[in-house]
Every structure is written in C-alpha cells, then in structure tokens.
Amino acid sequence: MEVERKQSVILVPCPYQGHLTPMLQLGNILHSQGFSVIVAHTRHNAPNYTNHPQFVFHSMDDGLQRIDMSFPSVETLYSMNENCKVHLRNYLAAMMEEEGNELACIIYDSVMFFVDDVATQLRVPTVVLYTFSAAFLHSIIMILQQPEKYFPFEDSQLMDPLPELHPLRYKDLPFYVVNNKIPEWDLEFHRATCDIGSSVAAIWNTMQDLEDSTLLRLQEHYKMPFFPIGPFHKMGPLDSLSSIFEEDNSCLEWLDKQAPNSVLYVSLGSLAMINDKELIETAWGLANSEQPFLWVIRPGSISGFQYAEALPDGYEEMVGERGRIVKWAPQKQVLAHPAVGGFYTHCGWNSTVESICEQVPMICRPFIADQLVNARYLSQIYKVGFEIEVIERTVIEKTIRKLMLSEEGENVKKRVVDMKQNIVAAMEIDGTSHKNLKDLVDFISALPS
C-alpha cells in the first residue's frame, strides 16, 4: 500500500539514455514510497511525459542547439551545467515561496554538478545520484589524488597491472587518454563531478553486497551516508519506459522461435560509436560463430555512415533467419528472454546490472570511462564474462563459441547465476537493498524542509 508522505523531491537527470533511465527508475521507487516526484529536465532529450503520469515535469532551457547521440563533449556538459543554473534557481525560488511547500531535497545526477551550488544558496538539501559503479568512482578518486603517478605512460606499459587499482592496467585507466596522456580539461571535469559540494547523501544504483569494501572506502572519503539500493529497475513497482529511441519489439517474436540459451544479444548502448572496420569484423565474427544473434545497430553509431551501409554486401540474406538486426531493442525484455544465452556488450553500468539480473554472461567490449572498469571487474573479479581486446573476426568468433559452447563458458554462466541470486537476496525483506531503501526513505523524510 502506498504511504501518503506529501513531501516532494526534485530529480535532475543528465539527458543521456544511460543516465536518464536510472533517474526515472529512482523516481518510480521514491513515488512508490509516497513522495511526490518532480523531474526538472533539460529541454533536449526530455523524457516522454505520457510514460510517467505519476511525475510532475519541469523543463529547463539548456541553451544548447542540440544534443548529439554520441559521447558528450566536456564543453556540452559544462554548457548544460552553466545554462540550467538560472532556470533552476528561479524555479526553486518560486517554489519556496509557495504556501505549504514541502520540498524535502533535490536529487541530482553527479554529472549535473551545478545543482548543488544553486540549491545550497537557497538552503535546499541535495543528494547526489551515482549512475555508475562504486569501483569506477573509486578509481577516479585514486587517480585524481596523484595523476602524475599514472600519466603520461609509455606504450610498453599498456598491459602492466596497477596493483593499487587492481584489476586495472594502464590500458584501462578510465579517462579520456590521448597519446598516453590525460588532457588537463578532462582532469578538471572529473574534479568537478567528484566535488559534491554540500550534498548530504549519495544514492547508488549498485548493490552493497557486490561492492561493499569499495563503498566503505568511498564513504570514508566523502563522509556522508550512502544508500546503495540497486538494481533500480527491479526495486520499483513498475519499470519506467524511458527509451529516447523507438524500441523494435518485433525481435521478441523472433526470439520466441529460438532455442533456449542459444542467442547472443549484441548491443553497445546509446552512445558508443564504431568505425566501418569494426562493423565488418563484428559482422563476420557473428556469422562465422554460427550462433543465432540479435544485433542492435543504432542509427548514427557507425562513424561516417547514416546506418549500417558498411555491412558486407548481402550480409542479412546470408545469415538469414539465424541473425536479426534492429535499430533499438527492448533490452531488458530481451535479456530476460529464455532464448538469450550471452550478451556482447560495451559494459555500460545499466547494461551490466541488467545482464547480471537476468543471469546472462557477457563478452566485454568496453570503449571509455566506466566501461573500462566494468569490463575488468566482469572478466577478472566476478568472472562472469570474457573480455575482447582485439577486434578481429577470428577473435570474436572464438570468444562467442567459448562463451556459448565451451565448459569455460558454462562456468561463467554458473557464476552469473550465483550473482543473480545474491541480487535477489539483496532485494528481499532484510536484504541490503531493501533495508537501504527503507533507511533512505527515513533519511529523506527527516531532512529539514
């Protein structure tokens, strides 16, 4: 039964799919706990209001011409932070003058760091949301403390381990590395996102049991309460329909016709771009593996092409019914489908959590930032995936076969089943995520309004 709490929370998401989705999921969770939820979003990539009738929406002018669906530039992120300031300040100020206003706090994506400045001036408490793993933030903080220890490095060091950042190597340093150096602006940007100002707590889409020691270390650093209440998409009463792109549900019917655990699902998330050479190597790797596959090729995700024009001539006819290519899939449903037996992924944190929750083992092909850290944890620590380091058709083919058909692959599958069971336990009454959610609700309710 829903509790009538009357208090409201304002959520400020970052307008990219991998950030918007968990923020809206958090909104669902908090709404089901009796809070009124206001979503203050940028004008671009606004959520579809009709999918979330339970929320109040407020649009902020981000001052941008457009938001590209590729890795956002630091300039774009800074502009967004700068341009939304006045708008949020005016909105908040007007709200605070309203009679009976019971605003408990503002919850903001760590990338939208302007929120804390604005809210602090108006004495509204802020809570930061981390949409990535604790392991990623921990590695960033360690590196920011001594960047000169890691950069620049030599080519010969690429595969050398970094014991204090185990299991990362120089190759996996989660920054924008150019010629083995880190540009000063990237360091500055990370400093800005790690500076949580006067925020009073942090919410995580992760599980305490999974990242306990890292969360503790981060908590010592930040000295504030942490609420790991993941997996968000399973903790709310309903999962939000939050796709910026149109989902092609026809692939579910195709999956219905496939044998259990036989299909490799291939998707590189909402931002990653590949070149035509990688497209072709992946295409042949998939075809030669002889496993059924469902492949998401996002329009605009192949550099220099509108869509998938660079696929080998007659490719789709050649693979026939064994392969299916779509522009965007209902990913959570796909991963939950009994036919899906593996996930070739860029290791975005949402995809990682969604895959573990459906006990689907992974082939890890990370691109940048947290994906590099997630890929190492998945392959080296949790051992629920194999990492692909050379994008070459024979390597891809062999890795697919290893995952889907070998004894090694079966062991990986067993471990992901164990991980899933631990997550289920965390969500049960007395499980850590369940308990942390209760604590979060009490914490927000007790904030001075």
Place of tokens 């590949």: 274
Which one of 5, 18, 34, 57 is in contact with ligand UDX (CB under 6 A)? 18
Q: Dihedral, CA atoms, 58, 61, 65, 70, nearest 10 degrees?
A: -50
Kindly tell me which of 384 and 441 has the beta carbon lying closer to ligand UDX: 384
27, 230, 231, 269: residue in contact with ligand UDX (rule CB under 6 A): 269
Return the range that interacts with ligand UDX (CB under 6 A); candidates 191-199, 324-332, 420-428, 440-448: 324-332
26 binds ligand UDX (CB under 6 A): no
Does 329 bind ligand UDX (CB under 6 A)? Our answer is: yes
CB closer to ligand UDX, 258 vs 371: 371
Task: Give me the torsion for CA of 152, 139, 167, 232, rounded to 10°.
Answer: -140
Cβ density class 212-245: b for 16+ within 10 Å, e for less: eebbeebeeebeeebbbbbbbbbbbeebbebbbe
Region near ligand UDX per CB under 6 A, out of 183-191, 221-229, 284-292, 369-377: 369-377
- Which residue, 33 or 133, is less far from ligand UDX as judged by CB? 133
Q: For residue 350, state whether it binds ligand UDX (rule: CB under 6 A).
A: yes
Kindly state whether residue 262 participates in binding ligand UDX, applying the rule CB under 6 A.
no
Q: Based on the shown chain and the rule CB under 6 A, indicate whether residue 436 belongs to the binding site for ligand UDX.
A: no
d(CA 302, CA 182): 26
**At closest approach, how far in Å is the CB of 284 from ligand UDX?**
22
Please say whether the dihedral angle defined by the alpha carbons of residues 384, 388, 392 and 394, taken in this order, is positive or negative. Answer: negative
Q: Does 243 bind ligand UDX (CB under 6 A)?
A: yes
Taking CB under 6 A as the rule, does residue 376 contact ligand UDX?
A: no
CA distance 180 to 128: 31
Per CB under 6 A, the segment of 3-11, 38-46, 317-325, 342-350 that binds ligand UDX is: 342-350
The DSSP annotation for 263-277 comes to EEEEE-TTT--B-HH
Locate 184 and state its tokens: 């000063």
Q: From the list 21, 110, 139, 355, which residue makes contact with ligand UDX (rule: CB under 6 A)?
A: 21
Q: How far is the CB of 376 from ligand UDX (least distance, A)?
A: 13
Supply 262's token pair.
């036989």
- Active centre residues (catalytic): 19, 109
For residue 86, what is the enclosing H or E element? helix 74-97
Q: What distance in Å separates the CA atoms of residue 376 and residue 430, rounded to the nearest whole number?
A: 30
Q: How far is the CB of 314 from ligand UDX (least distance, A)?
A: 24
Q: Which residue's C-beta sits nearest to ligand UDX? A: 18
Would you state the structure tokens that stand for residue 190, as one six-digit string?
């990370």
Report if residue 60 touches ligand UDX, rule: CB under 6 A: no
* Among the residue ranges 112-120, 144-152, 203-211, 329-337, the one whose residues contact ligand UDX (CB under 6 A): 329-337
Contact pattern from residue 126 through residue 155 relative to ligand UDX, giving x for each residue in contact according to CB under 6 A and a dash for the rest = -----xx-----------------------
Task: Work out the angle between the directed axes of helices 114-121 and 74-97 (0-180°, nearest 10).
Answer: 20
* Residues 270-309 contacting ligand UDX, CB under 6 A: 270-272, 296
Confirm or reject binding of residue 62 to ligand UDX (CB under 6 A): no
Size of the site for ligand UDX (CB under 6 A): 26
55: its two tokens: 């929320």
DSSP H or E run through 176: none
Q: Give pairs for 147-154: CB < 8 Å, separation 24+.
A: 147/182, 147/187, 150/182, 151/175, 151/177, 151/180, 151/181, 151/182, 152/179, 152/180, 152/181, 152/182, 153/180, 154/180
Residue 19 makes contact with ligand UDX by CB under 6 A: yes
C-alpha dihedral, 25 to 26 to 27 to 33, nearest 10° = 120
Question: Of 159-188, which residues contact ligand UDX (CB under 6 A)?
Answer: none
- Confirm or reject binding of residue 371 to ligand UDX (CB under 6 A): yes
The two three-digit tokens of residue 33, written as one number: 């706990």
With contacts defined by CB under 6 A, name the span among 103-111, 348-356, 423-431, 436-444 that binds ligand UDX: 348-356
Query: What residues make contact with ligand UDX under the rule CB under 6 A?
Result: 16-19, 21, 131-132, 243, 267, 269-272, 296, 328-329, 331-332, 348-351, 354, 369-371
